[in-house]
């Protein structure tokens, strides 16, 4: 299958790193509507609302995007990426600039979208701790490719030795005593 044929038939949703143009005077509804890459149908309002509901942002539909918090803006960008019902969602450093609670909320949202929409997610991130907790499989690149096909790899010392080239010890990262790398 040629890649251009695949892309014509299937959609890929994409969420870039944090946009520097968040002061752009657009409403949330307009930002999400931009994700309808196959054109606007008579159902576009319903599609936009469903997408916003999927990320818990339906109550902000008429708000200017620049008045939202960083985490809320990120959810709107995800709604824009999924409004066209893609099979694949690509995320580029999606948690940059988010606090720990917002990061956890973000990863829980992505997990829910994977389950509810039957979507595949490919994410570029440096946040291996959260990835270990929420992913089904991981490809890590650090001067070489290291593959891990199951979740919970934070306990596997050999994996981290291969990834980083030296011994890595889990350290307590939060007040619950959960181990993070």
In the chain, where the domains are located: 11-125, 127-181
Q: Give the torsion sign (CA, 91, 39, 119, 108).
A: positive
Q: Indicate whether this model's pTM tops 0.85.
A: no
d(CA 22, CA 68) in angstroms, rounded, equals 9
pLDDT in tens, the chain (181 residues): 455 655 555 678 889 887 655 577 899 999 999 888 666 677 888 999 999 999 999 999 999 999 998 888 889 999 999 998 999 999 998 888 888 888 888 889 999 999 999 998 988 887 777 776 777 776 666 655 555 555 454 556 666 666 666 665 544 344 454 444 4
Structure token pair of residue 55: 């990320």
CA atoms within 13 A on the CB side of 127: 23
**Rounded CA gap, 28 and 79, in Å?**
10
Residue 60 CA, chain-centre distance (Å), reads 20
Superfamily name with CATH number, domain 11-125: P-loop containing nucleotide triphosphate hydrolases (3.40.50.300)
Rg (CA), the chain: 18
Residue 166 dihedral angles phi and psi, to the nearest 5°: -155, 170
In which element (H, E) is residue 31 found?
helix 28-33
């Amino acid at each position: 299958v040629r890649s251009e044929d695949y892309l014509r038939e299937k959609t890929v949703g994409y969420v870039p790193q944090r946009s520097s143009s968040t002061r752009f005077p657009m409403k949330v509804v307009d930002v999400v509507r931009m994700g309808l890459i196959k054109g606007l149908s008579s159902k576009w309002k319903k599609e936009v609302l469903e997408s916003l509901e999927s990320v818990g942002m339906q109550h902000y539909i008429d708000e200017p995007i620049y008045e939202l918090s960083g985490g809320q803006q990120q959810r709107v960008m995800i709604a824009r990426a999924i409004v066209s019902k893609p099979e694949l969602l690509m995320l580029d450093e999606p948690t940059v600039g988010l606090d720990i609670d917002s990061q956890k909320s973000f990863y829980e949202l992505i997990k829910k979208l994977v389950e509810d929409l039957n979507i595949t997610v490919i994410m570029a991130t440096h946040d291996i701790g959260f990835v270990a907790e929420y992913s089904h499989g991981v490809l890590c690149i650090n001067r070489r490719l290291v593959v891990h096909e199951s979740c919970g790899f934070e306990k596997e010392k050999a994996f981290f030795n291969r990834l980083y080239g030296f011994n890595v010890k889990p350290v307590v990262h939060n007040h619950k005593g959960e181990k993070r790398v």
